Homo-oligomer: A and B are copies of this chain.
Amino acid sequence: MTNRTTQVMDAIRRKIAERALLAGERVPSIRILAAKMGVSPSTVVEAYDRLVADGVIRSRPGAGFYVADRAAFTSLRPPATDLERSVDPLWVSRQSLDAAPGVSKPGCGWMPPDWMPQAAIRRALRQISRSDNALLVDYGRSRGGQDLRHLLARQCAEEGLPVDPDMVLLTGSGSQTLDLICRLLLRPGDTVLVDDPCYFNFQALLRVLGVRIVSVPFTRDGPDLAAFAKALEIHRPRLYLTNSALHNPTGATLSAQTAHRLLLLAAEWNLTIVEDDTFAALEPDLSPRLAILDGLQRVIRIGSFSKTLSAAARCGYVIARPELVEALTDLQVATNFGGPSPITAEIVRITLADGSYRKHIAATRTRLARARRDASERLDRLGIVPWLMPRGGFYLWCQLPEGKDAQIVAKAALERGVVVAPGNVFSAAGTAGDFMRLNVSQVASPVFEHLAEILRTSG
Contacts and interface: CB of A to CB of B under 8 A. Distances in A.
B136 A342 contact: no
A327 B72 CA distance: 12
A94 B19 contact: no
A73 B323 contact: yes
A38 to B, nearest CB: 29
Contacts of A94: 142, 329-330, 333
B125 A208 contact: no
Interface string A200-225: 01001101100000000000000000
Contact of A139 (B70, B123, B312, B342): B312
A331 to B, nearest CB: 6
A297 B74 CA distance: 10
Interface residues of A, number: 89
A333 B93 contact: yes
Q: Is the interface of A mostly helix, strand, loop or mixed?
A: helix
Interface in A253-276: 267, 270, 272
A183 interface: yes
A239 B91 CA distance: 29
Contacts of A319: none
Contacts of A132: 113
Given A125-B126, A341-B314, A208 B335 contact: yes
B335 A179 contact: yes
Interface string A280-307: 0000000000000000011000000010
Contact of A334 (B69, B90, B142, B327): B90
Given A93-B337, A125-B126, A335-B179, A114 B142 contact: no
Contacts of A7: none
B208 A142 contact: no
Nearest to A326: B77
- Which of A73, A113, A130 counts the most B-chain CB atoms under 10 A from its CB? A73
8 contacts: A94-B142, A94-B329, A94-B330, A122-B136, A173-B338, A205-B335, A207-B334, A306-B337
